[in-house]
Amino acid sequence: MDQSKGLKTSTNLYRPERIVRPNVLSRVLGRDWKMALPFVLPIVLIMGGLIVYPFINAVQLSMTTRSLITRTEVFVGFDNYARLFQDTDFISAIRNTIVFTVVSVSVKFVVGISIALLLHGRLPGRNVLTAVILLPWIVPEVVTALTWRSIYDPIFGGLNPIMQGLGLIDRPVAWLAEPGLAMPSVIAVNVWKGIPFFVILLLAGLKAIDREQYEAAEVDGASVVQRFRHITMPGLRYVIITTLLLSFIMTFNTFGLIYLMTGGGPGGATRLFSILAYEKAIIGLRFGPGVATALSMAPFMAALIFVLARVMRPNEQGAVREKVTLLDRIGSGFDRIIGLLLDAVLLPLQWLEQLVSAALKFIVPSKADGQPRLRRSQWEALGVGTRLLLLLPVFIFVLFPFYWIVVTSFKTDLQIQRFTSIYVPNPWTFEQYRSLLSDTPFLTWFRNTLIVAVSSTALSISIAALAAYALARLRFLGSGLLTTLLLITYLLPASLLFIPLYRILTDLGVINSYSALILTYPTFLMPFATWVMMGYFRSIPVELEEAALIDGTTRFGAFRLVTLPLAAPALLSVTLFAFTNAWNEFLYAFVFITSDSLKTLPVGLQLLVFGDIYPWGQLMAASLMMAVPVVIVYIYAQRYLVGGLTAGSVKG
């Protein structure tokens, strides 16, 4: 018996350990699905309930029309879509939208890359200059609209006196009231507002290009234009494509800026398809045709978002695909066309460069021994002076609206009405601020905006941080699909969702309340925050979390105690970005809130206008006070905000 026991013990010593195999659910749902569930469930519920379901509901609603007899929605199939192509208002709105988008994006790209090139490299006070360029981007949309409307005003505005003083016009011009001038005027404002977006991303792309490439090309005798064509443009290819697509999508779906400036007028000259959808659904209470108008552009948006998703999610580890897809062929053909266009555009610039070079040699000839008369440091100083001189008109264009806000807010009503002391108040007065705070509900609007912005930001960032960690660290079924959906929802225009969301919030009984905004703001705040934090979490060494797990910490404990503190820069960045977007939001607050006591600042400022009477002093004072909190936040942590935007909007 003793021998048998010993033999049994010996057998156990050499018996291989039982291999623990994952159960069926783990094989199907992924290794970490149990841990991932509490992390991603909140964002899945919000995306499903406030994005996916409203979108499906919008598709259904677009196939109905309201019966005048029964007062109910009647199914009509695709009739609403078919009628659109016979609707002259719709055709005109699409034409306006295309013109507005193409011209705006083109000008923003040309001006943006020019400014980025001028700011790149050694330049005294470059950080300050960059911060000034970025100011239009952080100013609330309603402030932008009201400020430029004041500047364009034919009687009290500041543009007409400047144009007349320069001899460009001989009489005051109603810039926003003449059909032929309204569209160029609003395009100019959109360009002013959107240039910083291009400058931020293109500057980040320029910094990533190896400086040695330029030095080698200069040694080989390549001119400035040739270095730009063969080094800068190929090096910026990815950033340029991403920036153009993002800007095109955002510009195409513009609503608030145009609505606040012109309301789509005069005579529909600036009516975009998003404004037409609002007019049909909310003003005309024709929800079916209104949603059909908004959804008519969905296939076009889907194609752009698909291309953008492919660009923003390159192959892992730089793997080269063996199979060339149709999209690759289209991209190659597009690259060749762009290359030919660039060569054609840059050829005159190359001739101009040669002419300037010859002129400089004539003006500053070489010494008798053949050595250049100016030293390298002197040439560099001349280059810096030239760049600053070229940037001067840009800074005047950027800063003039801010100057106009300040000087108008410190004028009396009499000064404004008599059009005296146009550019300098005489005397300076705080009357507009006193009147604004004592005679209007400005402080109530300010409180409402603060409550909504803080609450929606806290909710969005909390959920986004959990989801981003799961997508960056855990393996579970649907993680790739959820990542793609985040990008899609980030780019999904509000004009497609505000109508079905309005009906859903009404059915829930939360319309016209703080909850209506706090629940819906995360739909456009969370996707971007998740995208940025996901990329940042991936850059944190996983060994730090593994060490915490070995010490007995739970997965959530490792996230809270190790990963989240290390991700503080990204967390601050997305918090600032979410807060500024919630503070500035106009469309949802305009549609979902009807009570004056609950209106936020972007909507409340409209209530200061009585018919065609604009109290410009109060409006500019209110605009300045609304912009100040955002500017303070921006100045406090601008490097985090800019860094987060450059990291999150073009990488993931």
Q: 499 and 630, same structural domain?
A: yes
Tell me whether residue 640 is in a domain. yes
Q: What pLDDT sits at residue 11? A: 41
Helix/strand/coil for 64: strand
583: Cβ contacts below 8 Å, ≥ 6 apart: 140, 449, 453, 601, 629, 630
pLDDT at residue 69 is higher than 70: no
Domains held by the chain: number:
2
Q: What pLDDT sits at residue 358? A: 64
Tell me whether residue 411 is in a domain. no
Q: Which residues make beta-bridge pairs with 66?
A: 73
* Residue 342 banded pLDDT, cuts 50, 70, 90: low
CA 478, 482, 485, 490: dihedral to nearest 10 degrees?
A: 180
Q: 574 and 452, same structural domain?
A: yes
Tell me whether residue 40 is in a domain. yes
pLDDT in tens, 455-484: 999 999 999 999 999 888 888 887 878 877
Highest mean pLDDT among 14-18, 255-259, 440-444, 560-564: 440-444
- Which residue type does 325 have? T
Tell me whether residue 36 is in a domain. yes
Q: 473 and 563, same structural domain?
A: yes
pLDDT in tens, 639-651: 555 555 544 444 4
Closest CA to 488 of 138, 160, 47: 47
pTM of the model: 0.80
Q: 452 and 352, same structural domain?
A: no
Q: 359 and 494, same structural domain?
A: no
* Average pLDDT along the chain: 80
pLDDT in tens, 363-419: 555 555 455 555 656 656 767 778 888 889 988 999 999 999 999 999 988 888 877
CATH number at residue 525: 1.10.3720.10
pLDDT in tens, 87-132: 899 999 999 999 999 999 999 998 998 888 888 877 777 777 887 8
Residue 386 has φ and ψ, to the nearest 5°, of -65, -40
Helices (H) then strands (E): counts for the chain: 36, 2
Would you tell me how many other CB atoms lie within 10 Å of the CB of residue 190? 25
Q: What pLDDT sits at residue 20? A: 46
* Burial of residue 322, with CB atoms counted within 10 A of its CB: 0-12 exposed, 13-18 middle, 19 or more buried: exposed
Mean pLDDT of 143-159: 89
Q: 469 and 351, same structural domain?
A: no
pLDDT at residue 8 is higher than 60: no
pLDDT in tens, 10-21: 444 444 444 445
463: Cβ contacts below 8 Å, ≥ 6 apart: 42, 43, 46, 522, 526
Q: 450 and 564, same structural domain?
A: yes
pLDDT in tens, 286-329: 778 888 888 888 788 777 777 766 665 544 434 444 455 565 56
Domain that holds residue 342: 330-364
Closest CA to 397 of 159, 102, 645: 159
Token digits of residue 311 = 């660009």
Q: 652 and 515, same structural domain?
A: yes
Distance linking the first and last C-alpha atoms of the chain: 67
Q: 347 and 485, same structural domain?
A: no
Give 233 or 28, the one with higher predicted confidence: 233
pLDDT at residue 267 is higher than 50: yes
Residue 30 has φ and ψ, to the nearest 5°, of 105, 155
Q: What pLDDT sits at residue 314? A: 45
